[in-house]
Amino acid sequence: MTKNSSPSETYQKIREAKDFIESKSTYKPKVGIVLGSGLGALAEIVKNPISISYSEIPHFLPPTVEGHQGKMLLGEINNVPVVILQGRLHYYEGHDMEDVVFPTRTICALGIQTIILTNAAGGINTRFRACDLMLIEDHINLMGQNPLKGPNLSELGQRFPDMTEAYNKQCFEVFKKTATDIGIPLHTGVYAGVMGPTYETPAEIKMLRIIGGDAVGMSTVPESIAANHLGVQVVGISAITNLAAGISPNKLNHDEVMVHSKSMSENLSKLISEALPSIILKGTLK
């Protein structure tokens, strides 16, 4: 994608990507799901899936991080039509923020009313352990960037979107209740989004804890901002794949992230699958 696209050019690119996807599938998804590193098991329970490689979709870029397949799936989970992004772009890969949130904006353009953002994250809260799940109640943007920087794309939303409820409270309660009903432990907390790609230092983790962070990662925040700009409800779930620096006795590495995220993927898939019909029935979809 060309750097610094004008608002009209960006909107046209979203339309072209949307039109291509709709030419490949008759599904009208109600919920979008973004899968983080190693969290691909959810894709296995999609019924009658239609798979589209990012390389086929106009203006989509392939992810370069292990555990991000670079595919879009359309189908049904528990009788709810969904669109799934198997992999995301990260700001640390060298992309513009416009590119990072382009897939999010595209699936929102398909008509989804709720987006579920999942990620692999480091645990800051000392009560957390590797392989826990955390439902995001709020975030702190420490990436030094915002995807809405520059001329406002008025076709998508207003200049100054409110972020008081960055993560929809009704959906939040549905997921908490679902987790209790099916016996899956679920923490709640604040996600700190940092640029990366280095893991944080122990001093940085101490700072993040002081300012209110419970988990830290290198994604999700830009997508949440972009979706809120579009008026789409957001749910965020972090898979705590490791304890953060200074808490864990071990040095951090991506292999550990991948191992733990894969072991958690089944619980995450079950939680999302069971919660989806409840979101519909509770009327949380606008």
Catalytic residues: 37, 68, 90, 92-93, 120, 218-219, 242, 254
146 CB contacts (<8 Å, ≥6 apart)?
Answer: 97, 222, 225
The kind and range of the H/E element at 50 are strand 47-53
Residues 262 and 43: their CA atoms lie apart, in Å, by 13
CB 213, CB 191: distance < 8 Å:
yes
Nearest 5 degrees, angle CA 122-CA 170-CA 83? 70
Q: Which ranges of 139-253 does DSSP label H, i.e. alpha helix? A: 169-182, 202-210, 221-229
CB 14, CB 105: distance < 8 Å:
yes
120 CB contacts (<8 Å, ≥6 apart)?
Answer: 36, 37, 38, 39, 67, 217, 238, 239, 241, 257, 260, 261
Tokens of 184: 């899956």
Residues 178 and 111: their CA atoms lie apart, in Å, by 25
Supply the DSSP symbol for 128.
Answer: -
